[in-house]
Amino acid sequence: MTATEHPPAYKYVGTRPIRHDGYDKVIGKARFAADLNLPGQLHGAIHRSPHAHAKILSIDTSAAEAMPGVKVVVTGDDFPALDPKNPNFDLAANIIARGVAYYHGHAIAAVAANTKPEAQAAAAAIKVEYELLPAVLSIDESMADGAPLVNETNHTKFVPPGEPSNLSTITNLDRGDVDDALAAADVVIEREFDCAHVHQGYIEPHACVVDTGPDGKTSVWCSSQGHFRVRSMTADVLGWDKSRVKVTPAEIGGGFGGKTTVYLEPLAARLSEKAGKPVKMVMSREEVLRATGPAPEAKMKIKIGATNDGELTAIDGWMAYGVGAFGDMAGLIGAMSVASYKFPNLRMETYTALTNTPKSAAYRAPSAPHAAFAIESVVDEVALELGMDPIELRLKNAAVEGDLTAMGMPHPRVGLVECLEALKASDHYNSEVPEGAARGVAVGFWFNIGEESSATVNLNEDGTATVLTGSPDIGGSRASMALMAAERLGIDVYSITPVVADTEAVGFTDVTEGSRATFATGKAVVQACDMIIDELKKRAASIMSVDVDQVAWVDGAAVSAGHGGGEGGEPLTLAAITAQAKRTGGPLTATASLNAAGAGPSFAVHCADISVDEETGVVSVLRYTAVQDAGTAIHPSYVEGQFQGGSVQGIGWALNEEYIYNADGVMDNASFLDYRIPVASDLPLIETIIVEVPNPAHPYGVRGVGETGIVPPMATIANAINAATGVRMTSLPMSPPKLLSALNKRSK
Amino acid sequence: MSLGKEMSLKKMSRTHVNCTINGDEVDFLTTDATSLLDALRDEVGLTGAKEGCGTGDCGACSVLVDGRIQCSCLIFAPEAEGRHITTVEGMADGEHLHPLQQTFLEGAALQCGICTPGFLLAAKALLDENPAPTETEIRYGLAGNLCRCTGYDKIIRAVQEAAVQLKGA
């Protein structure tokens, strides 16, 4: 279902063609990184730390090196010591430990051997002597006075350098007078929340094949969300020039933010360089869970004040995000994601804390789901206290153009009100809540980003076209690029071949993250199309012997008002012009590169009907609707797919998913059996409503849609559980044992 | 590199396996510790089946063994002796896609595509046994396959649509 503000007048944009890369994916021909093999390749394996925090006293690789098939072993000593100011300093230390293991599963050494079993046996035979250091395993321990240091190289960002610290950021955002506003409020609700670590859970483990030749030139084939970043990270960690590294993107088997960084490529490159042979490395699922980035854990305290007529007057928030053993800015980003309501008075005090657990990585709208779980739960409590409909309360306070985010940035044109109205008008919201069930709603926000993109459009002799971009396609973006090019050029979408090109075949392009590909790379594609249309018009003018300013581009053809069309009076089609390219000036090609400004924020509103089995604490999701502003849906099926996929990841986060660590900091549930992501039988259909409030900064109005969908589900379900049982769940996941325990404690 | 190491590799004992894969008689050499998944991918050259977990929890490696859906990561390669195996590469009839492949494409039932081969085979096994499943039966029939991109919605709808098409065929 689509709720459109202005009916679009597009021929291709907004249609649902079969995606260009689809056939290969249904016949088993699509090449993912682990499907690639090079002649003579070796197989890599990693020796990982058995301790959550330990000083490495010695590494003995002699037994491993003497084992059958083993060609080379590398340790941290085989990598340059980076300057602490190098932006990839932490990355390098995470890829392979140098002197200290910071978490259970931290890579200590890597082996390349003829076969994978040989490499694994040799990795297990590496002997490491450790001196145990105190492991800090929770946000509370990390922030406690006198806490042991998690990582002696970490210093708090944005403040003058001081002693090493367990805090990566300490930030305060505020406006108005929160204390006065709370004192004057008719209703004040305060709750404390916590969220466990969760993993992105992409089904394809990290994988790469790397070949370093005798000239030092290194070719990488890998699964990533951004091969230009793989290039820069790999080169930095090895101390190489970027020009030494060529990265070719394989198909990517899911990322969700988790493949915006690298783990294997620099190891495989060094192994390949030393062995003189290609090296293939593929993680096991257990390695993915133990050693790649989960989303942060968090603790939050949120206090919201409101007037009796439902104006939210103040928010006072305290949030701490636990990001593992290396610093980032999760706390600050969490505060920045507070942007859904006007809140004239606002204070957000945030911390980013380190613990001796794996370095966290981006996961779909990073940091926003935690904050929204807390804030949307408290907003729900305010609505209950005031006896207001939860949609009405949100409509009364919804941010519109010009309202300030927590950061103090005014919103551009946004579609929160439109999303709330669309849900209010929906079949789901107007249906009776089924007997024995209850309903919850919540809002989500994500900024979206622009950043740098390049695109090249090559027209072929027969009037077909190739569109090259540097944005890995993680959910249908090639189809979107082809649709935008088809719309611009006026040729059939299947006449266009969209290609994700390697780092030497297309201009620099940032990672597919921040819901930016269809927005920013799409903008580059449209710009390149416009450049090539200018050239087509020049060629047409010369063929038609008219001035170029008399030529217009209409429906895939040059028409000249002054000339009445082409040679025979007819419009000169794109194919007719490309057929004469040789004699009118040569091949038709155009490249556009840009740093895209104006990424439009995307709001969502979700609604869930759930039932609770009070004997087991199991929550069943009976009906679920995701409403979100897409700006303009280029390929509506894949826009819906983003809403649905985000919703279900959020449902898993809400109800099941969590890292369970034992007292030694060892993850107890490092498999898909025990880290349980939703399966088909856990879920209903996920209904979608695409709201289209066009983003003025994109030629077709695109807002990124990839991330916002994961923001509302946790509070949506918590609010429904509260409606069903009278129990306010404040700890994620709301798993059966936790809910059962809360139900048992409920005052009768 | 010593001669001893090379010799030890060559001495590794291998089993000669004969089976039918996607209608063709195939034979390959494998060690007793090799999974059917690794043998298909590394010895036979069919990389359609994927490894998502290696422990039978995700279904990305699903193949049909004598018509029954199985995780090929949980089967030793020598166990394939004499069996009929179908992988995703064997689902289409020449250039004609299986209706499930077509409805997955038309219904956008895949995003990244890593789980797609396993889902197609699990859905085929389901429809071969139950040509008119309810939505709930489809959901339980596919509960052994993990997809992290789609939320399953479009997969369920594609299987429903394929069931209708197969019934009319």
Q: Is B151 inside any structural domain? A: yes
What is the DSSP annotation of B20-84? EETTEEEEEEE-TT-BHHHIIIIII----S--S-SSSSS-TTEEEETTEEEEGGGSBGGGGTT-E
Q: Which of A622, A599, A418 is nearest to A2 (CA)?
A: A418
Q: What is the pLDDT of residue A179?
A: 98
Residues B126 and B75 in one domain: no
Q: Is B1 inside any structural domain? A: no
Subunit contact B140:A681, Cβ cutoff 8 A: yes
Residues of B in contact with A117 (CB under 8 A): 33
* 3-state SS class at A130: strand
* 3-state SS class at A90: helix
Residue A70, Cβ density class (10 Å: 0-12 exposed, 13-18 middle, ≥19 buried)? buried
Q: What is the CATH number of domain A411-448+600-745?
A: 3.30.365.10
Q: CA angle A92-A97-A99, nearest 5°?
A: 120
Please compute Rg for chain B using Cα positions: 18
Q: What is the pLDDT of residue A8?
A: 63
Q: Is B5 inside any structural domain? A: no
CA distance B165 to chain A (A): 18
Residues B105 and B152 in one domain: yes
Residues B70 and B112 in one domain: no
Whether A231 and A245 have beta carbons less than 8 Å apart is answered as yes
CA distance A20 to chain B (A): 10
Separation in Å, CA A171 to CA A80, A119, A167, A348, A361? 33, 46, 11, 8, 20
Average pLDDT of the residues of chain A:
96
Task: Give the closest of A30, A635, A648 to B151, CB-based.
Answer: A648
CA distance B52 to chain A (A): 5
Token pair, residue A338, equals 């507070």
State the Cα–Cα distance between residues B85 and A703, nearest whole angstrom: 45
CA distance B82 to chain A (A): 24
**Helical packing angle, B153-168 and B116-129, nearest 10°:** 40
Cis peptide before A733 (omega within 30 of 0): yes
Residue A420's CB is within 10 A of a number of other CB atoms, namely 23
Residue B96's CB is within 10 A of a number of other CB atoms, namely 9
Token pair, residue A269, equals 């490159």
Which CATH number characterizes residue B57's domain? Answer: 3.10.20.30
What is the DSSP annotation of A177-190? -HHHHHHH-SEEEE
Encode pLDDT of A277-330 as tens digits: 999 999 999 999 999 999 999 999 999 999 999 999 999 999 999 999 999 999
Task: Give the closest of A29, A114, A677 to B9, CB-based.
Answer: A114
Residues B107 and B83 in one domain: no
B-proximal residues of A, 58-97, CB under 8 Å: 68-71
How many domains does chain B contain in total? Answer: 2
**Which of A1, A24, A26, A474 best probes binding to B when mutated, by most B CB atoms within 10 angstroms?**
A26
Token pair, residue A415, equals 């579609």
CA distance B63 to chain A (A): 12
Pairing of strands A557-560, A572-573: antiparallel
Task: Give the closest of B54, B89, B151 to A28, CB-based.
Answer: B89
Whether A154 and A166 have beta carbons less than 8 Å apart is answered as yes
Subunit contact B149:A204, Cβ cutoff 8 A: no
**Which of A114, A203, A494 best probes binding to B when mutated, by most B CB atoms within 10 angstroms?**
A203
Asked if A201 has any chain B CB less than 8 Å from its own CB, the reply is yes
B-proximal residues of A, 267-286, CB under 8 Å: 282, 284-285
Q: Is B82 inside any structural domain? A: yes
CA distance B129 to chain A (A): 19
Residues B56 and B21 in one domain: yes
pLDDT > 60? residue A5: no
User: How long, in residues, is chain B?
Assistant: 169
Residues of B in contact with A32 (CB under 8 A): 50, 114
Residue A159's CB is within 10 A of a number of other CB atoms, namely 11
Q: What is the pLDDT of residue A162?
A: 87
pLDDT > 60? residue B164: yes
Task: Give the closest of B51, B101, B113 to A30, CB-based.
Answer: B113
pLDDT tier at A646 (50, 70, 90 boundaries)?
A: very high
State the Cα–Cα distance between residues A332 and A426, nearest whole angstrom: 35
Task: Give the closest of A16, A28, A648 to B152, CB-based.
Answer: A648
* 3-state SS class at A211: strand
Residues of A in contact with B144 (CB under 8 A): 679
Task: Give the closest of A202, A638, A647 to B148, CB-based.
Answer: A202
Subunit contact B9:A29, Cβ cutoff 8 A: no
- Residue B99 φ/ψ, nearest 5 degrees: -50, -35
For residue A168, the number of C-alpha atoms closer than 13 Å in the C-beta half-sphere is 25
Domain boundary among B43, B71, B90: B90
CA distance A380 to chain B (A): 26
- Quick one: DSSP state of residue A88? T
Residues of A in contact with B112 (CB under 8 A): 202-204, 251-255, 474-475
Q: Is B65 inside any structural domain? A: yes
Domain boundary among B90, B110, B139: B90
Q: Is B119 inside any structural domain? A: yes
State the Cα–Cα distance between residues A633 and A646, nearest whole angstrom: 16
Token pair, residue A293, equals 């980035």
Q: Which of A500, A455, A522, A705 is nearest to A21 (CA)?
A: A500
Task: Give the closest of B57, B110, B142 to A672, CB-based.
Answer: B57
Whether A10-17+451-594 shares its CATH topology with A411-448+600-745 is answered: yes
State the Cα–Cα distance between residues A718 and A440, nearest whole angstrom: 7
Q: How far does CA B110 lie from the centroid of its chain?
A: 16
Encode pLDDT of B106-151 as tens digits: 999 999 999 999 999 999 999 999 999 999 999 999 999 999 999 9
Q: Which fold has domain A10-17+451-594?
A: Aldehyde Oxidoreductase; domain 4 (3.30.365)
Residues B26 and B82 in one domain: yes
Subunit contact B149:A641, Cβ cutoff 8 A: yes
Find the domain containing B157 and state its range: 99-168
pLDDT > 50? residue A566: no
**Residue of chain B nearest A72, judged by CA positions:** B1
Residues B154 and B131 in one domain: yes
Encode pLDDT of A191-234 as tens digits: 999 999 999 999 999 999 999 999 999 999 999 999 999 999 99
Task: Give the closest of B1, B9, B60 to A203, CB-based.
Answer: B60
pLDDT > 80? residue A567: no
Residues B83 and B103 in one domain: no
Residues of A in contact with B62 (CB under 8 A): none
Domain boundary among B90, B113, B143: B90
Percent of chain A clearing pLDDT 90 (strictly above): 96
E strand or H helix that includes residue A353: strand A345-353
Whether A639 and A690 have beta carbons less than 8 Å apart is answered as yes
Please compute Rg for chain A using Cα positions: 27
E strand or H helix that includes residue A173: strand A167-175
State the Cα–Cα distance between residues A702 and A519, nearest whole angstrom: 6
End-to-end CA distance of chain B: 61
Domain ranges of chain A: 10-17+451-594, 411-448+600-745
pLDDT > 70? residue B12: no
CA distance A34 to chain B (A): 8
Please compute the mean of the pLDDT values over residues A603-628 and round it to a whole number: 98
Separation in Å, CA A394 to CA A235, A388, A399, A422, A692? 48, 10, 9, 13, 19
**Helical packing angle, A390-397 and A416-424, nearest 10°:** 160
State the Cα–Cα distance between residues A224 and A207, nearest whole angstrom: 9
Q: Which of A42, A35, A71, A77 is nearest to A59 (CA)?
A: A77
Residue with tokens 């609707």: A625
State the Cα–Cα distance between residues B118 and B136, nearest whole angstrom: 19
Residues B84 and B111 in one domain: no
B-proximal residues of A, 500-539, CB under 8 Å: none
Check residues A38 and A2 and name the one with the higher pLDDT. A38
Residues 6 or more apart whose CB falls under 8 angstroms from that of B53 comprise: A285, A671, A672, B60, B73
- Quick one: DSSP state of residue A204? S
CA distance A593 to chain B (A): 26
Alpha helices for A110-264 (secondary structure H): 116-124, 139-143, 178-184, 227-238
Subunit contact B112:A22, Cβ cutoff 8 A: no
Check: pTM over 0.80? Answer yes or no: yes
Residue B40's CB is within 10 A of a number of other CB atoms, namely 25
Please compute the mean of the pLDDT values over residues A470-494 and round it to a whole number: 96
pLDDT tier at B8 (50, 70, 90 boundaries)?
A: very low
Type of residue numbered A290 = R
CA distance B124 to chain A (A): 13
Query: In the 3-class helix/strand/coil scheme, how is A404-466 assigned residue by residue?
Result: ECCCCCECCCCCHHHHHHHHHCCHHHHCCCCCCCEEEEEEEEECCCCEEEEEEEEECCCCCEE
Q: What is the pLDDT of residue A457?
A: 98
Subunit contact A30:B41, Cβ cutoff 8 A: no
Q: Which of A122, A114, A61, A74 is nearest to B7 (CA)?
A: A114
Q: What is the pLDDT of residue A33?
A: 98
**Which of B13, B153, B154 best probes binding to A when mutated, by most A CB atoms within 10 angstroms?**
B153
Q: What is the pLDDT of residue B7?
A: 42
Please compute the mean of the pLDDT values over residues A416-430 and round it to a whole number: 98
Asked if A29 has any chain B CB less than 8 Å from its own CB, the reply is yes
Residues B81 and B109 in one domain: no
**Which strands form A572-573's sheet, in the order they lie side by side?**
A551-554, A557-560, A572-573
Q: Which of B124, B142, B58 is nearest to B88 (CA)?
A: B124
Subunit contact A285:B55, Cβ cutoff 8 A: yes
State the Cα–Cα distance between residues A545 and A563, nearest whole angstrom: 9
Token pair, residue B133, equals 């499943």
Q: How far does CA A510 lie from the centroid of its chain?
A: 13
CA distance B168 to chain A (A): 22
Please compute the mean of the pLDDT values over residues A604-608 and round it to a whole number: 98
Residues of B in contact with A640 (CB under 8 A): 108, 153-154
Please compute the mean of the pLDDT values over residues A269-276 and round it to a whole number: 98
Q: Is B70 inside any structural domain? A: yes
Q: What is the pLDDT of residue A321?
A: 98
Subunit contact A23:B48, Cβ cutoff 8 A: no
Percent of chain A clearing pLDDT 70 (strictly above): 97
Encode pLDDT of A145-181 as tens digits: 999 999 999 999 998 888 999 999 999 999 999 999 9
B-proximal residues of A, 110-149, CB under 8 Å: 114-115, 117
Residues B137 and B154 in one domain: yes
Whether A407 and A336 have beta carbons less than 8 Å apart is answered as yes
CB pairs under 8 A between A and B: 189
Encode pLDDT of A437-474 as tens digits: 999 999 999 999 999 999 999 999 999 999 999 999 99
Q: What is the pLDDT of residue A562?
A: 59
Residues B39 and B75 in one domain: yes
Residues 6 or more apart whose CB falls under 8 angstroms from that of B15 comprise: B29, B30, B31, B32, B77, B78
Question: How many DSSP H helices and E strands does chain A contain?
Answer: 21, 30
pLDDT > 70? residue B3: no
What is the DSSP annotation of A511-571? -S-TT-IIIIIHHHHHHHHHHHHHHHHHHHHHHHTS-GGGEEEETTEEEETTTTSSTTSS-
**Residue of chain A nearest B119, judged by CA positions:** A26
Task: Give the closest of A26, A284, A646 to B116, CB-based.
Answer: A26
